[in-house]
Amino acid sequence: MRIAIAQGTAPGLDALDAAAAEAAGRGARLLLTPELALSGYVLGPRAAASAEPADGPAARRVEEIAARHGVAVAYGWPERDGGAVFNTVRLVGPDGTELAAYRKTHLYGDQERAAFTPGAEPIVQADLDGVRIGLLICYDVEFPEPVRAHALAGTDLLAVPTALMRPFEFVPRVLVPARAYENGLHIAYANRCGPEGGYDFAGLSCLAGPDGEVRARAGAGPELLIADVDPERNAAARAVTPYLADRRPDLYRTIARSPCP
């Protein structure tokens, strides 16, 4: 399956529409956009004010964009559900129907904790063109447990919208390929780039393969990466490096329950 990874600076529906048009024109079946692609990342008190429900006006517009261009779209926005606001990514199919929605479970820093409620569902997946797509958001992928859980649940492609700032470039350069390698799956990592709200976002979006090799890599500026995902590579990589088969989960139970010192 051919995918497009949008690395950009300008959030909003117009930018998403333009990226979807280019992605479809270059043969992609899935467009992955950065974290909080509709609103921008640095929201503060504006997170609650700009939040919309999962079936709000912005959602309807994205569905129209996906259907018009014939490309699936994974996008993020502040989701309101009752009195809570979540940092959410939603996957819409190429016909405009919702396939999945995931709420960020690991919130990063005081800004996110003040603005959002953490999600409680660790594994969210959907199937597209025979590829099982899993969803995480930014900081989530830096924890080994969620990625391993996706690998055990059969995820072929882990889609990770991101807002990673400098000086943490080691995450896309080192950690994301390592996560892909140790779990034998593809990881698509779509970051922001450039300045916003006092931060300088690092770019370096990528597709990391199940062998740990980076199949496509962006630089520091706006870019639309095009890359191919082949689920058969996952099985081949796991045969060579059988981490999943060689696990000893009976030994890990007390470790998982142990508090941080």
- List active site positions: 35, 104, 138
Residue that the structure tokens 């990673």 belong to: 164
Q: Phi and psi for 14 in degrees, rounded to 5?
A: -65, -40
Omega of the bond prior to 167 within 30 degrees of 0, cis? yes
146-181 per-residue burial string, b: 16 or more CB within 10 A, e: under 16:
bbbbbbeeebbbbbbbbbbbeeeeebbeebbbebbb
Q: Which amino acid is residue 87, in one-letter code?
A: N
d(CA 85, CA 79): 5
CA geometry: angle 88, 181, 77, nearest 5 deg: 10
DSSP secondary structure code for residue 52 in this structure: B
Bridging pattern class, strands 223-228 and 2-7: antiparallel
Helices (H), 70-201: 109-115, 144-152, 170, 176-183
